Amino acid sequence: MNYLARSAALEDLPPQSYLKHVLHVLVRGRCYLRKALRYARGLDADARALLRILELASEYHDLGKLFDENQEVLSGQKRTRHLPVSHADAGVAFLSQREAHRSALLIYAHHAGLPDAGKIHIDGMRNPKIAQRVDQELPLLLSRHEASVRPQITPKDVCDLQGGLQPADIRILFSCLTHADHGDAARASGECCQLGRSPKLRANERLEALKRHVRLLASDGEATDRNHMRSAFFNACSDRDGPESEPITICDAPVGTGKTTSVMAYLLDTAARHGLRRIFVILPFTNIISQSVTVYRKALTLEGEKGEEVVAEIHHKADFASWESRKLTALWDAPIVVTTAVAFFETLASASPATLRRLQNLPGSAVFLDEAHAMLPVKLLPLAWRWIQHMATTWGCRWVLASGSLCHFWKLDEFRLKNGGETAVTINNILPVEQQKILQAFEINRVRYRYKPEEMRLVALIEWLKELEWPVLVVLNTVHTAAAAAKIAKERLGEDYVMHLSTALTPEDRDRTLKEVEQRLLNKADKNWCLFATSCVEAGMDMSFRTGVRECASLLSLLQLAGRVNRNAEEEKADVWTILLNTTDPGVTKNPAFDVSSRILRDFLKAENEISPALCTDSMRREIRETGATPKELCDHEDKYAFEAVEQKFRVIEDDSKIAVADKALIERIKNYEDVSWQEIQRYSVRIRQKIVKKLAIEEESRYPGLLLWTAEYTPFLGYMEAVLKMEEFDKDGYAMM
């Protein structure tokens, strides 16, 4: 009998046989793991065992689909949305009998997600509702499996591991299984396949292309001291001599020294030396992505290639569990991936199949953590640091942590290993010592830090801005406050005098705004304007304002804002202000994440400490200890293999937002059942908090479960905050929202 694994998705697509699906998942999953194992260190004795764990899980993951009731649905004899008998328990039952418990765990989780080990210890991995029936019919299911699958494969025994597996290792195994399973399901249902079509890294060739690009830029630029330093920095990174550096390095070059291209040159050289397969560029904020991607696509795309296939641009962590929406999930399969710290680290923390399926692409990669000081809240850093070290020492990853205001957090007691020892790897600076001194000396007199301790309402803030040297960059602590301030400023100063930039805008509109900002900054005659923004402009943005204003948040945020002021030392001295806002103002919303860090910064300012990167590590030490944000709870969950708990508590942004398409043309295409790509979803969407979704009655798209369509008001100036602020005005005036 021809048993089935999937029913016919479309009229012109036949159902998929059980044999074909099992073989596809087995072969592809094994292929993904073998690619990762090429870079594994210290796992030589266990490589065969790891492969066998995955092979067993792949072979038996859908064993329960062989129940008669399930086959009736899959063949089309009966129509139901879900299979009548849960199909994971049969594989779990069989492999548990054979004491292949790790393989059984992967099957147990392949739809539900990785569980907490404590939950398994108490409840077991079996489904109590059907366990008795599964046990009774297991011989029949196995006989069907043997008749269908076994003639096509070579039987193998369970293989014991010589050592234990870290939680990160289990996530990688799980990634291989789920990526093979989801990918094959997408192919069988006629969805566009994203696998196996990306260009290779070709590190040496791309490094030469990058050198040509930088030489061309240098020939067009002025012969300034800053440009000479940039060239020297790039040459130090691209033409290295001597022994290879450690797997984790740092780069503390100040702003404006060309880290975007120089560190990329270092990573390409490192990838060529070690045969790495992929480069990740991790940025703290979404708006920096497009700026970096534009540079990389122009500099690194080789003849005959498409830039969007060479450099993937991933703005949102958009992962969809339903099979209808899976094709909209962004995978890490391009040779160069540019994404956010949220998307990257929440993937490492995940327990969910839809998210973890991309993780198998990380081993054997070089990773650039740009603006590393801002990549994560301090309470998450200890566990992230553990993952960084494990991926470096076990899975062949090479890391560069870069920032002009880098905290040496790994030196703090809170980051020591659980046995009390020091960091497991030596950390070197990719900058030669002499060049470090030259670059740091250039920073000393660029900006002056000033403090305005009187609390202001937004109207008073707008009036005070008139006294400053323009153009002015104003960075506020929340999307709501930035939008409310920009709206008031537009009303009082005029449309031409005000710009706004935050994640309330889609990536497409942020790019448009950034281009306009860059053009206005280049026009020295166009001085009378200001930009209201959130922290998304603080890190990595190549812009230079005359004056900076920062709502009190943290020392690190203040230092980063200073990097957007008088960036190339055009002026002898420029001011960077710290201000306080009155939280009773209805336009001001408080960001509780800054409660402790803002108080620490106020202490520094009141004591008239010299504001400099030298204070960063001390500031972080105080913040960790004063908030009680120690690594204990999260790291304890990781030590106990509590996958669900880690996923729930490791949140870079503490909200329950969902992704919503905000572009009217794309919304119409989705409603008309036209084909759309994950790249379009990324470019034309925003993330919306659940409370806003409920208030404005934003509905989920039935075609793509998990995806929202933003049907409320949206403008390129305020983005979705246009609707939110109007809603608040209606509420204030006593109108009911219908």
Going by pLDDT thresholds of 50, 70 and 90, the confidence category of residue 678 is: confident
Q: Does the pLDDT of residue 113 top 80, yes or no?
A: yes
Going by pLDDT thresholds of 50, 70 and 90, the confidence category of residue 44 is: low
Distance of CA 344 to the CA centre of its chain: 3
Q: How far, in Å, CA of 385 to CA of 416, rounded?
A: 10
Q: How far, in Å, CA of 183 to CA of 331, rounded?
A: 11
Percent of the chain with pLDDT over 70: 88
Which of 217-226, 399-408, 600-609 is predicted with the least confidence, judged by mean pLDDT?
A: 217-226
Would you state the pLDDT for residue 444? 62
What angle in degrees, to the nearest 10, is found between the helix axes of 131-148 and 18-37? 90
Would you state the pLDDT for residue 629? 55
Would you state the pLDDT for residue 737? 32
With the CA atoms of 379, 383, 385 and 391 taken in that order, what torsion angle do they form, in degrees rounded to the nearest 10? -160
Which of 13-27, 52-66, 157-171, 287-301 is predicted with the least confidence, judged by mean pLDDT?
A: 157-171
Would you state the pLDDT for residue 730? 62
Dihedral angle sign, alpha carbons of residues 505, 506, 509, 514: positive
Q: Fold match between 203-439 and 445-611?
A: yes
Would you state the pLDDT for residue 330? 66
Going by pLDDT thresholds of 50, 70 and 90, the confidence category of residue 723 is: very high
Q: Cβ neighbours of residue 574 under 8 Å, at least 6 residues apart?
A: 446, 447, 448, 469, 546, 547, 548, 565, 566
655 or 477: which leads in pLDDT: 477
Question: Cis peptide leading into 716, omega within 30 of 0?
Answer: no
Q: Does the pLDDT of residue 734 top 70, yes or no?
A: no
Would you state the pLDDT for residue 319? 43
Q: Does the pLDDT of residue 731 top 80, yes or no?
A: no
Two structure tokens written together for 232: 């020297």
Would you state the pLDDT for residue 243? 66
Amino acid at site 469? E
Going by pLDDT thresholds of 50, 70 and 90, the confidence category of residue 156 is: low
Residues 658-677 as b or e (16 or more Cβ within 10 Å = b): bbbbbbeebbeebeeeeebe
Q: Does the pLDDT of residue 203 top 80, yes or no?
A: yes
Going by pLDDT thresholds of 50, 70 and 90, the confidence category of residue 655 is: low
Two structure tokens written together for 648: 């729930």
Going by pLDDT thresholds of 50, 70 and 90, the confidence category of residue 441 is: low
DSSP label at 545?
B
Percent of the chain with pLDDT over 90: 54
Most confidently modeled of 20-29, 237-246, 410-419, 439-448?
20-29
Which of 26-30, 199-203, 407-411 is predicted with the least confidence, judged by mean pLDDT?
A: 407-411
With the CA atoms of 449, 455, 457 and 463 taken in that order, what torsion angle do they form, in degrees rounded to the nearest 10? -50
Dihedral angle sign, alpha carbons of residues 340, 345, 347, 350: negative
620 or 55: which leads in pLDDT: 55
pLDDT in tens, 292-348: 888 999 999 999 999 989 998 887 544 434 444 444 456 898 999 999 888 899 999
- Helix%, strand%, coil% for the chain, nearest 5: 50, 10, 40
Q: Cβ neighbours of residue 277 under 8 Å, at least 6 residues apart?
A: 35, 200, 201, 271, 335, 364, 365
Would you state the pLDDT for residue 416? 66
For the chain, the domains span 4-188, 203-439, 445-611, 658-732
Q: How far, in Å, CA of 728 to CA of 382, rounded?
A: 39
Q: How far, in Å, CA of 712 to CA of 708, rounded?
A: 11
Q: Does the pLDDT of residue 738 top 70, yes or no?
A: no
Distance of CA 349 to the CA centre of its chain: 11
Q: Does the pLDDT of residue 583 top 70, yes or no?
A: yes
Give SS3 for 723: helix
Give SS3 for 512: helix
Q: How far, in Å, CA of 634 to CA of 48, rounded?
A: 31
Going by pLDDT thresholds of 50, 70 and 90, the confidence category of residue 20 is: very high
Dihedral angle sign, alpha carbons of residues 166, 170, 175, 177: positive
0.75 cut: is pTM over it?
A: yes
The topology under which CATH files domain 445-611 is Rossmann fold (3.40.50)
CA triple 427-431-432, angle to 5 deg: 105
The DSSP element (H or E) to which 708 belongs, if any, is strand 708-709
541 or 72: which leads in pLDDT: 72
The DSSP element (H or E) to which 639 belongs, if any, is helix 632-639
34 phi/psi in degrees, rounded to 5: -60, -40
Two structure tokens written together for 250: 């740092």
Annotate 593-606 with three-state secondary structure.
HHHHHHHHHHHHHH
| 26, 55, 95, 161 from 154: Cα distances, Å | 12, 11, 17, 21
Q: Does the pLDDT of residue 80 top 90, yes or no?
A: no
In terms of phi and psi (left: phi > 0; alpha: psi -120 to 50; beta: otherwise), the region of 42 is left
The topology under which CATH files domain 203-439 is Rossmann fold (3.40.50)
Half-sphere exposure of residue 74, counting CA atoms within 13 Å on the CB side? 21
| 202, 307, 566 from 199: Cα distances, Å | 8, 10, 40
